[in-house]
């Protein structure tokens, strides 16, 4: 199979984890007889430095010609003081919008080997398998006006939470559809006790529910959802929520599995359109360039890409198995290692996963998981 992948490494640890992910994809290609072409694009802070914009037009064009997009992360302190239009994050938001990627899927699973790394007690973790469906092209991150202005008492600032009913309906429908393919439970997370947008969100969920009689719908206010996620995450199957809420809840949920360095994501538009795959974490400036970043979230994002956009489920399974096996062998980056345990670097854990993938596919050897 011949596929074109747009590769946007970005800033900070982005190039490190994406570099490892491509080395892993090369092994997938070698083992299964595929050809993956990588077309590199600029986005974020380094694009600002080199092109004067966080999202050069060529990057959007490149993505449009690809079968899938793999992204690292954008941002860093160097660009934090810039004006809004010259901030790395606007590049990523702009790309999501330009590609109409309205749904961001963030699965949270437990690797049995990592029970110790989770902040939760082992008995609470048993059987956790949840999916956060985050609306990605609307809400507070995209509403206008967004501005600073001078009012009667001095500086005033405005961010706008804007949704159309149609935007709310399409993400909720996806939530119902995904719940239907899993355990049949959808939790819609909102702040309907305060926000008008959330009231429409809840009304829309109620209106759609009769069309999905096989799905049990529950509503939860976002503050309670944040608490329930760490109290008893096993109660959740699919959570569907607004852009900002989903952003925050997914970082929180990362700690159920043990580290933000483990959580993958896939962003999708209408059926048959391009998908963008990226780890949930950011550019981690505090560890950038030190061979400390955990590349597993990016590997698991690659697995999502193989399965969803490239139609290669067997290859996706093999990557996920290789990751699980390496963890089972006790290989840990610093974010996962317990006090006193050996710490592997980004490149070293990368080599372990590649070896495991080769061994698993060629010789069928793997650690029992």
Ligand X SMILES: CC(C)CC(=O)C(=O)O
Q: Which residues bind Mg ion (CB under 5 A)?
A: 247
Distance separating the N- and C-terminal Cα atoms of the chain: 30
How distant is the alpha carbon of residue 136 from its chain centre?
A: 11
Binding site for ligand NAI (CB under 6 A): 13, 17, 73-76, 89, 92, 260-261, 278, 281-287, 293-294, 297, 335
Give whichever of 176 and 277 is closer to ligand X, judged by the CB atom: 277
* Minimum distance, C-beta of residue 246 to Mg ion, in the bound complex (Å): 9
Tell me the C-alpha distance between 341 and 110, whole Å.
20
Of 17 and 326, nearer to ligand NAI (C-beta) is 17
The helix-helix angle for 165-181 and 196-208 (nearest 10°) equals 50
Tell me if residue 223 is catalytic: yes
**Closest CB to Mg ion among residues 265, 333:** 265
DSSP secondary-structure letter at 210?
G
Scanning 5-13, 14-22, 86-94, 254-262 for contacts with ligand X by CB under 6 A, the matching segment is 86-94
By the 8 A CB rule, do 212 and 104 touch? no
Q: What is the CA radius of gyration of the chain?
A: 20
Q: Is 316 in the site for ligand X (CB under 6 A)?
A: no
Question: Binding partner of residue 93 among ligand X, ligand NAI, Mg ion, none, CB under 5 to 8 Å per kind?
Answer: ligand X
Q: Report helix, strand or coil for 27.
A: helix
| Residues making up the binding site for substrate | 96, 106, 134, 223
- Which residues does the annotation place in the binding site? 76-89, 96, 106, 134, 223, 247, 251, 282-294
- Candidate ranges 52-60, 89-97, 156-164, 314-322; the one touching ligand X (CB under 6 A): 89-97
Shortest distance, position 68 Cβ to ligand NAI, whole Å: 17
Catalytic residue among 141, 163, 212, 299: 141
DSSP 215-278: SEEEEEEHHHHHHHHHH-GGG-SEEEE-HHHHHHHHHHHHHHHT-GGG-EEEEE-STTS-EEEE
Window 262-281: residues binding ligand X (CB under 6 A): 280
d(CA 357, CA 31): 9
Given a contact cutoff of 8 angstroms between Cβ atoms, the answer to whether 65 and 37 are in contact is: no
Whole-number Å distance between alpha carbons of 337 and 256 = 15
Residues annotated within the binding site for NAD(+) are 76-89, 282-294
- Binding string, 209-248, against ligand X, x = CB under 6 A? --------------------------------------x-
User: With binding defined as CB under 6 A, does residue 135 bind ligand X?
Assistant: no
**Overall residue count recorded for the chain in this entry:** 369
Minimum gap (Å) between residue 252 Cβ and ligand X: 12
Whether omega before 107 lies within 30 degrees of 0, making that bond cis, reads no
Catalytic residue among 191, 212, 237, 299: 191
| Contact residues for ligand X, defined by CB under 6 A | 89, 92-93, 141, 247, 280
Active site residues: 141, 191, 223, 247, 251
């Amino acid at each position: 199979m011949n596929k074109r992948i747009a590769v946007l490494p970005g800033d900070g640890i982005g190039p490190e984890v994406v570099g490892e992910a491509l080395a892993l994809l090369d092994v997938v290609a070698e083992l299964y007889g595929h050809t993956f072409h990588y077309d590199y694009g600029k986005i974020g802070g380094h694009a600002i430095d080199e092109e004067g914009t966080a999202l050069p037009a060529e990057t959007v064009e490149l993505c449009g010609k690809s079968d899938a997009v793999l992204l690292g992360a954008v941002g860093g302190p160097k660009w934090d003081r810039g004006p809004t239009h010259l901030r790395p994050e606007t590049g990523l938001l702009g790309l999501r919008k330009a590609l109409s990627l309205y749904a961001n899927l963030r699965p949270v699973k437990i690797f049995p080997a990592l029970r110790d790394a989770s902040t939760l007690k082992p008995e609470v973790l048993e059987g956790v398998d949840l999916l956060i469906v985050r609306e990605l092209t609307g809400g507070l991150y995209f509403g206008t006006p967004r501005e600073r202005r001078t009012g009667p008492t001095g500086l005033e600032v405005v961010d706008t939470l804007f949704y159309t009913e149609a935007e709310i309906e399409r993400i909720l429908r996806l939530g119902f559809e995904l719940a239907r393919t899993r355990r049949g439970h959808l939790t819609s997370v909102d702040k309907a006790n305060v926000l008008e947008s959330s009231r429409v969100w809840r009304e829309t969920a109620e209106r759609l529910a009769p069309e999905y009689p096989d799905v049990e719908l529950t509503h939860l206010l976002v503050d309670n959802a944040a608490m329930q996620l760490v109290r008893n995450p096993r109660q959740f199957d699919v959570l569907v929520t607004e852009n900002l809420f989903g952003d925050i809840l997914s970082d929180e949920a990362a700690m159920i599995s043990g580290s933000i360095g483990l959580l993958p994501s896939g962003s999708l538009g209408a059926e048959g359109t391009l998908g963008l795959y990226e780890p949930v974490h950011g550019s981690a400036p505090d560890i950038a360039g030190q061979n400390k970043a955990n590349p597993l979230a990016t590997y698991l994002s690659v697995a999502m890409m193989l399965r969803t956009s490239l139609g290669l489920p067997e290859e996706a399974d093999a990557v996920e198995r290789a990751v699980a096996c390496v963890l089972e062998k006790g290989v840990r980056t610093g974010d996962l290692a317990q006090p006193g345990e050996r710490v592997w670097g980004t490149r070293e854990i990368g080599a372990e996963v590649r070896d495991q993938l080769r061994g698993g596919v060629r010789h069928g050897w793997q650690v029992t998981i």
